[in-house]
């Protein structure tokens, strides 16, 4: 590994800015966030960067490194071609506040529009429920989400087409899948998914899955199953009829699973 | 000391800060799909050399009309358009074509490769307007599950082809059990097409994914687990089955044309 490397970091705010080159000393085991901290300490005290855990669990240090959305704390310098300049820039999709910090509050505003978890009546007299482990295993994958919003950043519906008012984005679909597939939940979020949250805009390019630091299979396990549920209820005449005749067809059980 | 560098644009077609060969994957998809479509169209329009002894090309399976071994005989059906070239493949190929065209994996791949929407992740696009699959015509992609039902039936038909591929006719007209290279080629074709079909996202949903309490339905739960296992490598199944179905046709065709001879052990 070379003893120093050049980092080209975006400096500026919503009014404008520029890339600036900084040299940083490199030592074994460093990640991109270490280099940014070193630059901040020695050369650019006013460099704005959001970070917290340095362990890939808080989702704060999202940025675009060499043009690809990543967590700075989880990107090892040994995985980058340090003979070339390393480019670090803020998330492209969200409004820039300063330097590497963007305003991601839109994601939380959309999250508030999702119908809340609504469990069926309690299974036991003490107010508790009974769930089979097999029934909750599927949604446990979705709970790994750290809300880094890299998936929202890379999704071209938001990034390139700016359809924020019609499309909720992959992170919010993971949240909906977590609620909609819950064995206790009784809500129907499919009409909202189709209209308000615009799941039909997703064209399954799997970029969200590719950038997820928690390796959640967002497209295969959350978005496509939700799309299929929307098809069941709004596009497929056979399942629409079956859903009317058999109350259990939609999969929303109203009784406790066998233990 | 900090040094200022000009700002780069990222919103125009193809513009990106990515350093890797982002164009390689969509280019490979274009080459793979175009090559397959050209070969399949040519092979389907031949209407000949699709049978050799017990072997039947998967492009022509099941053979409904076209030869004495066909389900409904060699006679051309009365309703078949006179202006259209008669080939048994046209009765069948629309099913796998529709199934693959509306396949969730393939949709994402060809939207990127052929329509540049986007060309690759975090790369600029050529158009500002975007409808996605929210409106006609791409809304029709939701028909995928109906093609899936038909594709499952085709897999069953391909299974019968494997059985027929074990039987060889001698000069006196008697059938003998045996195994040839073609038998293995056709058997592997069914294995790969089956792996692709049974890992389909729609099948996975309908056989158990739609349930929130699969433990109440053990059979559907098991089916969902099996389909999910195949679904994890859906892309690999897609490409392997696509390549092998083309190779299977080529093998049968070359045998039928006498270009190559089929090695076999007959009992």
The domain ranges of chain B are 24-75+82-125+133-266
Name the pLDDT band for B41 (thresholds 50, 70, 90). Answer: very high
Six-digit token pair at A223? 């978005």
Check pLDDT > 60 for residue A219: yes
Q: How far is A89 from chain B (nearest CA, A)?
A: 10
Average pLDDT over residues B122-142: 93
Check pLDDT > 80 for residue B20: yes
Are B44 and B90 a contacting pair, CB within 8 Å?
Answer: yes
B209 CB contacts (<8 Å, ≥6 apart)? A225, A228, B224, B227, B228
Using a CB-CB cut-off of 8 Å, the residues of chain A touching B20 are 68
Any CB–CB contact under 8 A between B142 and chain A? Answer: yes
Closest residue in B to A12 (Cα–Cα): B7
Any CB–CB contact under 8 A between B125 and chain A? Answer: yes
Any CB–CB contact under 8 A between B246 and chain A? Answer: no
Cβ contact, residue pair A160, B11, below 8 Å: yes
* Ordered domains of chain A (ranges, CATH): 4-102 (3.10.20.30), 105-250 (1.10.1060.10)
3-state secondary structure of A66: coil
| pLDDT score at B67 | 87
Name the pLDDT band for A130 (thresholds 50, 70, 90). Answer: very high
Q: What is the pLDDT of residues A57-96, one digit of tens each?
A: 999 999 999 999 999 999 999 999 999 999 999 999 999 9
| pLDDT score at A253 | 57
Check pLDDT > 50 for residue B1: no
| pLDDT score at A256 | 56
Question: How far apart are alpha carbons B267 and B265 in whole angstroms?
Answer: 7
Any CB–CB contact under 8 A between B21 and chain A? Answer: no
Closest residue in B to A93 (Cα–Cα): B122
| pLDDT score at B4 | 44
Any CB–CB contact under 8 A between B5 and chain A? Answer: yes
Cβ contact, residue pair B201, A18, below 8 Å: no
Range scoring the smallest mean pLDDT among A17-21, A159-163, B26-30, B72-76: B72-76
Name the pLDDT band for B56 (thresholds 50, 70, 90). Answer: very high
Any CB–CB contact under 8 A between B227 and chain A? Answer: no
Check pLDDT > 70 for residue A251: no
Query: What percent of chain A has a predicted confidence (pLDDT) above 90?
Result: 88
Cβ contact, residue pair A200, B19, below 8 Å: no
| pLDDT score at B6 | 41
Average pLDDT, chain A: 93
How far does chain B reach from its first CA to its final CA, in angstroms? 83
Query: What percent of chain A has a predicted confidence (pLDDT) above 70?
Result: 94
Average pLDDT, chain B: 93
Cβ contact, residue pair A84, B16, below 8 Å: no
Check pLDDT > 70 for residue A5: yes
Cβ contact, residue pair B104, A224, below 8 Å: yes
Six-digit token pair at A215? 């390796």
Question: How far apart are alpha carbons B187 and B176 in whole angstroms?
Answer: 18
Any CB–CB contact under 8 A between B112 and chain A? Answer: yes
Average pLDDT over residues A86-112: 96
| pLDDT score at B207 | 94
Q: What is the pLDDT of residues A118-129, one digit of tens each?
A: 999 999 999 999
A22 CB contacts (<8 Å, ≥6 apart)? A6, A7, A8, A9, A39, A43, A44, B2
């Amino acid at each position: 590994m070379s003893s120093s490397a050049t980092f080209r970091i975006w400096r500026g705010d919503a009014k404008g800015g520029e890339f600036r080159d900084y040299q940083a000393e490199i030592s074994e085991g460093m990640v991109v966030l270490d280099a940014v901290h070193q630059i901040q300490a020695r050369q650019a005290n006013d460099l704005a960067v959001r970070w917290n855990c340095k362990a890939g669990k808080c989702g704060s240090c999202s940025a675009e490194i060499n043009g690809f959305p990543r967590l700075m704390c989880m990107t090892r310098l040994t995985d980058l071609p340090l003979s070339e300049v390393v480019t670090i820039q803020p998330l492209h999709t969200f409004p820039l506040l300063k330097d590497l910090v963007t305003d991601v509050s839109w994601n939380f505003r959309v999250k508030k529009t999702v119908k809340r978890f609504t469990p069926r009546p309690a299974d036991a007299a003490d107010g508790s429920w009974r769930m089979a482990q097999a029934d909750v295993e599927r949604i446990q994958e979705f709970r790994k989400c750290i809300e880094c919003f890299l998936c929202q950043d890379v999704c071209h519906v938001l990034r390139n087409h700016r359809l924020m008012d019609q499309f909720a984005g992959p992170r919010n679909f993971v949240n909906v899948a977590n609620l909609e597939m819950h064995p206790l939940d009784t809500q129907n979020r499919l009409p909202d998914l189709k209209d308000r949250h615009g799941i039909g805009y997703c064209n399954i390019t799997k970029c969200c899955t590719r950038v997820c630091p928690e390796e959640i299979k967002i497209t295969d396990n959350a978005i496509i199953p939700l799309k299929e549920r929307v098809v069941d209820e709004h596009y497929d005449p056979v399942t629409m009829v079956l859903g009317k005749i058999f109350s259990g067809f939609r999969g929303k059980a109203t009784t406790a699973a066998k233990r | 000391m900090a040094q200022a560098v000009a700002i780069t644009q990222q919103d125009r077609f193809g513009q990106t800060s990515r350093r890797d060969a982002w164009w390689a994957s969509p280019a490979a998809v274009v080459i793979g799909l175009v090559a397959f479509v050209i070969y399949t169209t040519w092979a389907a329009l031949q209407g000949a050399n699709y049978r050799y002894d017990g072997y039947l090309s998967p492009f022509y399976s099941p053979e409904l009309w076209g030869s004495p071994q066909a389900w409904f005989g060699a006679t051309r059906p009365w309703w078949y358009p006179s202006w259209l070239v008669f080939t048994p493949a046209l009765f069948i190929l629309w099913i796998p074509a529709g199934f693959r065209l509306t396949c969730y994996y393939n949709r994402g791949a060809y939207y990127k490769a052929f329509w540049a929407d986007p060309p690759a992740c975090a790369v600029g696009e050529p158009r500002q307007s975007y409808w996605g699959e929210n409106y006609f015509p791409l809304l029709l992609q939701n028909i995928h599950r109906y093609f899936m039902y038909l594709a499952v039936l085709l897999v069953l038909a391909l299974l019968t082809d494997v059985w027929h591929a074990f039987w060889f006719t001698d000069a006196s007209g008697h059938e003998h059990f045996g195994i040839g290279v073609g038998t293995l080629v056709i058997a592997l074709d069914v294995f790969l097409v089956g792996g692709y079909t049974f890992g389909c996202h729609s099948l996975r949903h309908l056989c158990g994914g739609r349930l929130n309490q699969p433990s109440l339905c053990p059979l559907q739960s098991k089916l969902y687990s099996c389909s999910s296992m195949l679904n994890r490598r859906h892309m690999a199944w897609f490409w392997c089955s696509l390549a092998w179905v083309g190779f299977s046709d080529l093998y049968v065709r070359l045998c039928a044309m006498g270009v190559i001879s089929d090695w076999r052990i007959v009992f």
